[in-house]
Amino acid sequence: MDLTAWTGLLVTWTLSMISPGPDFLAVLRSGAIFGRRDARWVALGVSSGVTCWLVLTLAGLDAVLRVHPGIYAVMRYLGAGFLVVYGVSVLWSMHRDQGESATPGTGAWGPAPRAGASRSVWSAYRLGLLTNLSNPKALVFFGALFVTVFPAGASAWTKLLAAGVLVAITVCWFTLCATAAGSSSVVTGYRRARRWIDTVLGVVFVLLGLALVWL
């Protein structure tokens, strides 16, 4: 791979990472509610999901899905289901907390999302992992990116090195997002406008899930 190929790969990847999507929203909301530590575990879960997609791409799964579109369809429906259920859970917890003043309880996605609450490391990590894995279109994107950037006959070591660099960029970006999301200004802003923020985020997740099936 020459310098031009590396530059194209890194620029394309960085732009795709910083574009707001379900991963970014999950990290942002986690930081605003549960703090930086929780958001960083969500970020680690997202990065683990990206790593899984990259490994599967290098293993040639994207080619398998092109030959067997039924498998890809099942993956899309499962991912869409997760996003829709998560979006509905955000809307439901917001609605439920409007009529409660007691200590938040524990729901399907961990404690009810009220600023200052806490949840387990596994719950945070799982949220990030499943949010990223919910979009099998990532596999198509990675496959197309690698085919476009890598020269014919590129060695396995070159591809592994590139994958490692991409994962490092992912970890750095989402860790930065998690740190920013847990700042006092973000937490304060969330507390003041929680009803509207959760309504928008819940609807966005539901729409993203539906778009995964229909688009």
pLDDT value, residue 48: 97
pLDDT value, residue 89: 87
pTM of the entire structure? 0.82
User: Whole-angstrom distance between the N-terminal and C-terminal Cα of the chain?
Assistant: 34
pLDDT value, residue 149: 78
Token pair of 44 as six digits? 């680690």
pLDDT value, residue 98: 55
> What angle in degrees, to the nearest 10, is found between the helix axes of 22-34 and 121-133?
160
pLDDT value, residue 49: 95
State the Cα angle at 43 between 37 and 45, rounded to 5°. Answer: 110
- 103 within 8 A of 111, measured Cβ to Cβ: no
| Ordered mean pLDDT values, 10 residues apiece, the chain (215 residues) | 80 89 92 92 96 89 76 86 90 66 40 60 95 87 80 78 93 96 88 85 90 80
Token pair of 132 as six digits? 């990223």
pLDDT value, residue 167: 95
